[in-house]
Structure formats: structure tokens, C-alpha cells
Amino acid sequence: METGLRLHKLHGLGNDFLVALVDELPRSADASRTAAVLCHRRLGVGADGLIYAVVGSGGDSATMRLWNSDGSAAEVSGNGVRCLAHAIAHTAASPEADILIDTVAGPRRCTIRPTGRRSTVLGTTEMGETRPGPSPDRLSRSPVTALSGVLEPDSVLRWDTVSVGNPHVVVEVADLDAVPLLDAGGAVEALFSGGINVHFGAVTARDQLTLEVWERGAGATAACGTGAVAAAAVFHRWGSLGQTVGVKMAGGFARVDLADPITLTGESVYVAAVDAADA
């Protein structure tokens, strides 16, 4: 594990990250090992992921790379982009920011503004395009079959996959309260050899979607920003929701606007600064 690493801990709707603002990005192998150690909930600082970022000289751009809590690399995170922009603004002692962030999935512009609450900002991120997602390539089964031993018969209403720069499968269920997330999320992800983010959703009010989230590389999490966008896009395509969708997750609400550009809006909370040498 790297020592002497200054970390900023933030969360977006309970989806938490450690952010390291560095002069250059580390090697993937080194970052993977460091992420697995630092993100451990009992033996490390604890987080869903570790973000390394190099900030441009003007402070209005950054290059971001993300590793999940299990040490695997991820293309992008909607909540992570927002938390990174917040960390940059916090370091510059600025209440607002408009930052273009380079990710593996492409550029994401994020603007943040104060909320009037200490350490909390509201951020809006341009999320890029949605595209068709991968098909199951293991066990020759669909999520319906994979969940047959986990959920009651006829609990799964329909499903689809979508990419928001990273892969997602969205499963509409009749009763969210009946979904055993740890078993159900793992069962569906096992169908995809490259791993996938899994979301169980139901329309719970006009233009409101409620999600249970299982993230590739992190397991059950309180929220997923790209997942909120993915689910909103799929339910909109099914004709169940309009273009502006409120997404309720365990950690709170996000707003997705499916117009061009697609945007994700939600809060970020600055928690603490931590030195890795002391973790």
C-alpha cells in the first residue's frame, strides 16, 4: 500500500469514495492493491471505491481513474465524478466548481453549487450517451432463470441491459421488499463474465423509480449514479417513466434528466481528510 497518501473521503447518497489528488496516476497494479487495502470496511478507511485524479493547472479540468473496493478497475462512476469535483473545490476553498473530468468512459462535465448545509453540495454531471449493454454469456441463462431459486415465481416482470460507459442490467420486480439483494445481485451478475452492475427497480410514484443496487466490484451499495441513469433510461424506453425521473435509493434521491445531454443531479458530502500512513 502507498504511504504518505492524502485522502479526501466523501459520499454521494451514501456511495462513498476515497479521493487522492496526485501529480501523476499510479500504475494499475499498485492502485489495485492500495484500493483493496484502503477501502476495506474494518481493516482500512472504508469506502466503495478509490479515485486517483490529476487536476489541471487551472483547476477546471481533471483526469480521473477509479478502482472498486475489491481492487478491480471501473470505467466511471456518476457519484464518484461528483465527489471528485467536490474534493477539488474543497481543496481550492471554493463553494462552486465547473470541472471537465476525463474518465475511461469519456469526458464528464460536473458543476457543483452550495446547498447552505455545511460540507454538502449539489452537483450536476453530464453523463454521456446510453448504449445497448452486454448479453448474458455464462450459464446460458437469463436473469429470470437465475433468480428462479431466489425470488418467488413471476416476481421478475422484465429486464434489459444498458451501458452508461459501464455495463448495467435493470430488472423490474413486482415487490422490491421481497428482493434478497445479496443473493439476487450475485446471481444475476454471475451471468456476465465481465461482471455487471445490477439494479432491481419498481415505479413507486409518478416519474419516480425506486432502486436496490448491486455494484460490480463493491457488492450492495447505498446508491449508484450511473445505475440511476441506466434504470431511468430503461424504464423510460419501456414507457413507464417520462424524461425527468426521481430515483430513490437507500442513500437518498437523485434526479435524472434524459434530455440531451443526459444529466445526473445529487448531493455530495465531504466527510474527512485522512492520511493513508495513519490508516
C-alpha cell of residue 57: 493547472
For residue 1, tell me if it sits in a domain.
no
C-alpha distances in angstroms, 258 versus 62, 86, 200, 230, 264?
25, 23, 20, 10, 9
Instruction: Identify whether residues 151 and 54 lie together within a single domain.
Output: no
User: What are the tens digits of pLDDT across the range 61-114?
Assistant: 999 999 999 999 999 999 999 999 999 999 999 999 999 999 999 999 999 999
CATH classification of the domain holding 232:
3.10.310.10
* Inter-residue contact 156 to 173 (CB < 8 Å): yes
Number of domains, the chain: 2
> What is the number of alpha carbons within 13 Å of residue 214 lying toward its C-beta?
21
Instruction: Identify whether residues 120 and 142 lie together within a single domain.
Output: no
For residue 168, tell me if it sits in a domain.
yes
User: What are the tens digits of pLDDT across the range 197-246?
Assistant: 999 999 999 999 999 999 999 999 999 999 999 999 999 999 999 999 99
Q: Measure the CA–CA gap between 3 and 33, rounded to whole angstroms.
A: 12
Q: Which helix (H) or strand (E) holds 85?
A: helix 78-91
For residue 200, tell me if it sits in a domain.
yes
Instruction: Identify whether residues 106 and 150 lie together within a single domain.
Output: no
C-alpha cell of residue 277: 500512513
Instruction: Identify whether residues 57 and 147 lie together within a single domain.
Output: no
For residue 63, tell me if it sits in a domain.
yes
Instruction: Identify whether residues 239 and 274 lie together within a single domain.
Output: no
Q: Measure the CA–CA gap between 64 and 84, rounded to whole angstroms.
A: 8
What's the pTM value of the predicted model, to 2 decimals? 0.96
DSSP string, 235-262: HHHTTSS-SEEEEEETTEEEEEE-SSS-
For residue 226, tell me if it sits in a domain.
yes
> What is the number of alpha carbons within 13 Å of residue 76 lying toward its C-beta?
29
- β-bridge mates for residue 73, sequence order: 67
| Residues spanned by the domain of 238 | 131-260
